[in-house]
Structures are given as C-alpha cells and as structure tokens.
C-alpha cells in the first residue's frame, strides 16, 4: 500500500504488524513517533519565519505555538539588528547591574515558555523570529511535507513505538535501526540542499 496520508499510514502500520485489532492504538504509536521526530529532525522545511510586535515596557513575548528551536531573532525597522541569546543568569546580572534600563532590545533569554528581552523595550518594536517549527501532526492535518517526502520515517518511527506495547522487545532494535537510518538520510539530504550550488565559479574562455 502506498502511504499518502494519515489513513494509509495507519493501514500500513497494521499490515507490517500483521494485526487487525490495533485500530484504536495505532494513532498513539504515530503520535509518539511524531514526538520523537520533532526531537530528531532538523530539516530546512521546518524553518519558519514569523513577525510580532513587542510592546513598549513589556520585556516578555510569547513563542509561537509550533516553536521548537530558535535560529535567529532580530528587530526590524530602521536597520535590522540581531538580538543575541544569553542565559537567564546573564539576563539577571544585566538587569541588576543596569537597574533594568529600557531601550532597543539587544539580548533575549528563554523564561517560562517566553522570550525575555533586555533592555526592556522603550517603544513598540517589530520582532522577526526565524525558527524550527514542529512537523504538523497528522491527526489534525491528514498529511504533511514529511509524510510526502519520507514516509519511511513515519512508518519505522510508529513501528518502533509499537514494540513496547506489543511486548516485542526483539523488534525494537530492528525498527529503531531502520528509523535512525531514515532520519539520518533525511537530515543529510537537508544539509546537501542547503549547500547545493555554493562555491561555483563561472569561467569565461578567452578568444584565441
């Protein structure tokens, strides 16, 4: 069976397990696989850009609901400036040392699921966030780019998480190896795509 969407993925998982009595639990295997996938894969198709306004006097800003990992934070407007990541301890030291001055944000830290900026904004600023987003879950979307590009990642990830439930310890290693190999190939293909076309130089022949 060709895997094209959430339904055919579930059917294929059942076929590989040679079980017809797992309809209710296979979505859980897929959900667990998606959690694993979001931890293991960093692909250029996960890169997402969003903008938001950070308000004057408010040092905090919410992270997007699908946020996984920050790539770059910058302030837009009259010139673009990168906002650099620092630790929460460094943030506390800066606020204590400068008595929490306000100004154009230069640094941020992660705190309580939010971005914490320093200095505290002295005006409204447009924030641009480039980040790795979670792979859209199949239960809500039916299909996604990962299922289209690499159905083996989904299949072997789901089978890997089926083994403990089915008490098939011997199969865990098999499915885990296949899953890890599929993930490695996907991450490698992303890296190649990022660098494809670089380093090329045009050579012009002279007239002779």
Please enumerate in sequence order all residues whose Cβ is within 8 A of that of 33, keeping only pairs 6 or more positions apart, or say none: 154, 157, 158, 160, 161
d(Cα 125, Cα 12) in Å, to the nearest integer? 49
pLDDT score at 207: 39
Q: Give the β-pairing of 107-111 and 81-85.
A: parallel
Closest CA to 127 of 85, 75, 83: 75
**Both tokens of residue 195?**
């660098």
Residue 14 is predicted with a pLDDT of 97
Residue 80, pLDDT score: 87
Q: What is the pLDDT of residue 196?
A: 64
> What pLDDT, on a 0 to 100 scale, did the predictor assign at position 199?
52
| DSSP codes of every residue in 53-74 | EEPTT--EEEPPTTEEEEEEEE
Q: What is the pLDDT of residue 169?
A: 87
Q: Which residue has the tokens 């943030």?
A: 91
Q: What is the pTM of this model?
A: 0.85
pLDDT of the residue at 1: 78
Do the beta carbons of residue 130 and residue 71 sit within 8 Å? yes
Q: With b meaning 16 or more CB within 10 Å and e meaning fewer, what string describes 87-114?
A: eeeebeebbeeeeeeeeebebbbeeeee
Residues in the chain with pLDDT < 70? Answer: 99, 196-208
User: Tokens standing for 104?
Assistant: 């154009």
């Amino acid at each position: 069976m060709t895997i094209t969407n959430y339904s055919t993925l579930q059917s294929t998982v059942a076929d590989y397990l040679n079980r017809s009595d797992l309809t209710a639990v296979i979505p859980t295997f897929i959900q667990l696989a998606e959690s694993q996938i979001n931890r293991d894969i960093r692909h250029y198709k996960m890169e997402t850009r969003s903008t938001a306004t950070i308000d004057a006097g408010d040092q905090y800003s919410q992270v997007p609901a699908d946020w996984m990992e920050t790539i770059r934070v910058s302030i837009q407007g009259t010139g673009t400036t990168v906002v650099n990541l620092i630790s929460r301890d460094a943030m506390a030291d800066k606020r204590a040392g400068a008595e929490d001055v306000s100004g154009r944000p230069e640094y941020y830290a992660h705190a309580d699921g939010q971005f914490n900026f320093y200095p505290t904004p002295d005006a409204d600023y447009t924030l641009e966030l480039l980040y790795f987003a979670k792979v859209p879950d199949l239960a809500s979307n039916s299909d996604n780019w990962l299922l289209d590009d690499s159905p083996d990642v989904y299949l072997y990830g789901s089978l890997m998480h089926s083994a403990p439930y089915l008490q098939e310890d011997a199969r865990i290693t098999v499915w885990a190896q296949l899953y890890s190999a599929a993930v490695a190939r996907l991450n490698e293909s992303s890296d190649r795509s990022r660098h494809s076309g670089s380093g090329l130089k045009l050579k012009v022949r002279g007239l002779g």
